[in-house]
Amino acid sequence: MENLRKKIIEIVLAEGYNITAEAINILERLDNPIEKLKKTIEKLRREMPSVLVIGSEHLVYNEPGERILEGVSETEVEEKEVTAEWSPRIEVDERFQKQYRIRGEASEFQNYFKSRYMKLKRILEERGERYIRITDLMKAPRNSEAFLIVMLLDKKDYQNSIILMVEDDSGQTRLIISKKDTELLKKAEKVLPDQVFGVRVTKINNTFLVKDLFLPDVPLKHKTIEKYLRDVYVVLLSDLHIGSKKFRKDYFESFLDWINRSRDSEVKKIKYIVIAGDLVDGVGVFPRQEDELEYTSINQQIEEAGKILSEIPREMKILISAGNHEPVSKAIPQPPLPLEYRKILDKNGEYIFIGNPCYVKLEDRLLLVYHGQSLDDMIQYLPNISYTTLSRDIGVLLEMILKYRHLTPIYGENTSILPTPEDLLVIDEIPDIIHTGHVHVAYAGGYREVLLVNSGTWQDQTSFQREIGLEPTVGTAILINLKTLTVRLKKFS
């Protein structure tokens, strides 16, 4: 029986799925369980491509439509379904589950930026303005006013003005912003390289003077009628850095004690845990990292992480995303953790491994899970924000991601971006929750009906963080009610 269970888990993982303990128990009691498992996977791929967790309700027993199990009575099946403690509702966007590869050809970069421009253009067009192309503006009469949708190529700061070099799908031009307009100047400071935005310009002779500019942003009201939502909770975590000497195992053990033994009414309703990257500290991520490691092998780190996570109650479904410390390719979008490491981390095949970033639907709530590497670039470019002020300004950074409608607006800086045929980093669907990590500062706030979260860290301040003045928020779990979106920051330090 143990060999059969192992075989089931191996097949499920190899096919990119997870499976509930209840589904495994049923399969073990069937005739030809492997054949039925394979038929189940075929049906899911064909009819339910967003499902990644195989539950008892998905199993193909006999002929389509039949619910009679071989070797198990109907009464027993019904009893199982009625008494089942929990059935998770999880959907993962398949676009983010792939390993993307490029050839390094110029056409790939051209297609990537074309996709970025067109996707953000469609968002801006929802404002209802009548936009024209740069080539049409060139032909327009003097003193005419027009709206453009452009991408920023370069920004030059002069004594009396700021010059923006921009382009659209028809050509390039220069736009001038007068420094006398202080409000417009503040807006211009927040436009980043490679960002797509809208402008209202006036043509004076052959000069184009900017009168206003606006980011893609999120509508003030965008929520639709909510579907049935169960009264359950998700815990958002990130940046445990298991394997580092700085990992606060004592704090995390306090967290484990809380979710296993607390009498809090909320704890009993926790059904999901999402880890947004940097579960382990990795190896060779930065110079002389080995001096700061408790475990110098990536396999040791992942094995230790597996032991720690195994103490989380099995009825809580765990989703794990990659970060810049995981043993995966560093360019975003990152694929899920490779199978060879999943087998070490998740011996029972119960966790869900997702890409970075990734859209995930839990209980009809849409989460956008993103480790947050590009926050470093934004800190460098945006005015009046630094690592020393991050505890105050992390909310501003997360709001700007929504205003840009892009997770990595700057191309070619510290954050490596893969030029995929479709720019998957555009926030084309507005989530209920954006969950980030990376900068080690805990935060929960809101912007235009979107809950913004950074889940802090479980690693003490590193020597590098001390040099740049970053004070981490260590030992905090973010607890969210998925029905009401109420938030609680629970400290374990």
Q: What is the pLDDT of residue 227?
A: 59
Query: Kindly report the CA angle at 84 between 49 and 320, in degrees rounded to 5?
Result: 45
pLDDT in tens, 399-409: 999 999 999 99
- Residue 228: pLDDT band with limits 50, 70, 90: low
Q: Is the pLDDT of residue 414 over 50?
A: yes
Q: What is the pLDDT of residue 380?
A: 94
Higher pLDDT, 89 or 74: 89
Mean pLDDT of 95-112: 91
Pairing mode of beta strands 161-167, 207-214: unpaired
pLDDT in tens, 433-476: 999 999 999 999 999 999 999 999 999 999 889 999 999 999 99
Q: What is the pLDDT of residue 477?
A: 97
Q: Is the pLDDT of residue 109 over 60?
A: yes
Higher pLDDT, 157 or 22: 157
127-214: CATH architecture: Beta Barrel (2.40)
Q: Which residues contact 211 (CB under 8 A, 6 or more apart)?
A: 145, 184, 200, 201, 202
Q: Is the pLDDT of residue 424 over 90?
A: yes
Percent of residues, the chain, with pLDDT higher than 70: 93
pLDDT in tens, 332-343: 999 999 999 999
Beta strands, E only, 390-475: 433-436, 442-447, 450-455
Q: What is the pLDDT of residue 66?
A: 36
What's the whole-model pTM score?
A: 0.82
Shortest CA distance to 370 belongs to which of 410, 408, 330?
408
465 neighbors 400 (Cβ within 8 angstroms): no
Q: Is the pLDDT of residue 1 over 70?
A: no
pLDDT in tens, 243-257: 999 999 999 999 999
67 neighbors 77 (Cβ within 8 angstroms): yes
Q: Where are the alpha helices (DSSP H) in 48-173?
A: 74-83, 106-125, 134-139
Query: What CATH number belongs to 233-491?
Result: 3.60.21.50
Q: Is the pLDDT of residue 75 over 90?
A: no
Higher pLDDT, 153 or 23: 153
| Residue whose pair of structure tokens reads 């850095």 in the numeric block | 241
Low-confidence winner among 60-69, 276-285, 459-468 (lowest mean pLDDT): 60-69
Q: Is the pLDDT of residue 61 over 70?
A: no
Higher pLDDT, 46 or 274: 274
